[in-house]
């Protein structure tokens, strides 16, 4: 089997990769809806993969892996990697998890990071009400993640929250930083306690915090909420679109508090997790398959983390329904350090009308049943999907 073409279309703001083969099998991969600008980068890799055997996934990846970088520029390589696995599974007539060593669980736990409601404000009672609404969702999530602090409008909506200067405008992921005031610290701790009072011990609560925190504030906050038994504090120091890790600083934070510390969504390739894992700089890592270099890369990192006692909670909130399928496949194979992955939703909602293979409902009691169709388990309904192709992408399914 040989790859005869690589195409990329923007479908509902998601860059979607389609690999064609001389045996009529097509494979698909998808990147976050934040990243439509990746299309030229994806297409720039076309010549490198043409004529290769897509079922030799690692051999093909050796041709393109060096062309990626930290978020967002590992996504082009990652989307192609997932399309390769999709073809390999379809060619073998098995779900991708079989090619990754087989599943160790029949259903995969997810946490809610994507189904959101407009907040009425940024006071403790507003956060408490938001948790109530998320706990009432039909998906029955057993874990949820709430953005707070520098990873939310709180930093600008709460007067006198911090001493830094606002940084309006710019690209997604621009970091606003500054020491938090005493008033701001009290406010954020009160918000956490209000959410925890609602959640109790019935549902796990994680917090997406930054980046943006100064080290003394991060340590003060982590210690202040130790009695809340949070799942983790995410990206306090670096993360999101930060193009580096700073594992030494994370280790200083992690070893000084009982609150679990989490990072990793922006990191590209296993090599850039090496020091973070080997020094046990954090308690939890959260690579995104659409940024790390694909699902095999994520599995390798999860297994290495497991050897060092570090837990695994993959990121993925904006990865779409093809990304959801990829997360289900790989997380079915991960070792016991797996906690849950971040549930990607259909954005726009019509994505649910253009793919087939997902269960109805997708999430039951906080879990997704492992998909058993060949490949990633999800495919396009081409006639429906064509309605959403732009003029430049009209031949995507040809």
- Specify the CATH architecture of the domain 3-93+381-393: 2-Layer Sandwich (3.30)
Q: Which two tokens stand for residue 127?
A: 């956060």
Domain ranges of the chain: 3-93+381-393, 99-374
C-alpha distance from residue 45 to each of 30, 63, 93, 192 (Å) = 15, 9, 27, 45
CB 150 within 8 A of CB 176: yes
* Digit-coded pLDDT (tens) for 206-249: 999 999 999 999 999 999 999 999 999 999 999 999 999 999 99
Secondary structure of 256-297 in the HEC alphabet? CCCCCEEECCCCCCHHHHHHHHHCCCCCEECCCHHHHCCHHH
* Digit-coded pLDDT (tens) for 94-149: 999 999 999 999 999 999 999 999 999 999 999 999 999 999 999 999 999 999 99
Q: Give CA–CA dist 176/209, Å, rounded.
A: 12
Q: In the chain, which stretches have pLDDT less than 50? A: none
Q: Give CA–CA dist 113/201, Å, rounded.
A: 19
| Superfamily covering domain 99-374 | Enolase-like C-terminal domain (3.20.20.120)
Spell out the residues 6+ positions from residue 118 whose beta carbon is closer than 8 angstroms to its own: none
Instruction: Identify the pLDDT of residue 167.
Output: 76
Which one, of 119, 107, 112, lies nearest residue 139 by Cα? 112
Instruction: Identify the pLDDT of residue 70.
Output: 98
């Amino acid at each position: 089997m040989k790859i005869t073409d690589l195409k990329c279309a923007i479908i509902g703001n998601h860059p979607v990769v389609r690999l064609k083969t001389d045996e009529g099998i097509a494979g698909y991969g998808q990147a976050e809806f934040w990243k439509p600008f990746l299309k030229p980068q994806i297409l720039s890799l076309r010549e490198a993969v043409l004529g290769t055997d897509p079922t030799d996934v690692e051999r093909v990846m050796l041709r393109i892996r060096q062309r990626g970088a930290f978020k967002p520029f590992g996504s082009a390589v990652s989307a192609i990697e997932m399309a390769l696995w999709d073809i390999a599974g379809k060619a073998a007539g098995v779900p991708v998890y079989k090619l990754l060593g087989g599943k160790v669980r029949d259903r995969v736990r997810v946490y809610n990071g994507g189904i959101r409601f407009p907040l009425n404000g940024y006071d403790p009672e507003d956060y408490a009400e938001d948790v109530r609404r998320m706990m009432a969702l039909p998906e029955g999530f057993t874990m949820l993640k709430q953005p707070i602090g520098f990873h939310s409008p709180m930093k600008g909506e709460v007067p006198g929250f911090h001493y830094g200067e606002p940084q309006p405008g710019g690209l997604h992921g621009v970091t606003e930083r500054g020491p938090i005031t005493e008033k701001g610290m009290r406010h954020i701790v009160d918000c956490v306690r209000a959410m925890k009072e609602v959640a109790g011990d019935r549902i796990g609560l994680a917090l997406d915090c930054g980046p943006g925190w100064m080290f003394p504030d991060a340590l003060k906050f982590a210690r202040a909420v130790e009695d809340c038994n949070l799942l983790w504090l995410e990206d306090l120091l670096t993360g999101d679109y930060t193009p580096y890790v700073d594992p030494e600083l994370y280790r200083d934070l992690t070893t000084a508090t009982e609150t679990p510390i989490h990072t990793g969504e922006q990191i590209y390739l296993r090599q850039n997790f090496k020091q973070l894992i080997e020094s046990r700089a954090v308690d939890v890592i959260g690579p995104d398959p659409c940024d790390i270099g694909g699902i095999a890369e994520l599995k390798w990192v999860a297994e290495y983390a497991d050897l060092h006692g570090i837990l695994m909670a993959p990121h993925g909130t904006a990865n779409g329904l093809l990304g959801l399928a990829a997360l289900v496949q790989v997380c079915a194979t991960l070792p016991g350090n797996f906690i849950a992955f971040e549930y990607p939703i259909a954005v726009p909602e019509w994505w649910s009308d253009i793919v087939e293979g997902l269960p109805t409902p997708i999430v039951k009691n906080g879990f997704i049943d492992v998909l058993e169709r060949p490949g990633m388990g999800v495919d396009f309904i081409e006639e429906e999907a064509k309605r959403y192709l732009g003029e430049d992408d009209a031949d995507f399914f040809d």
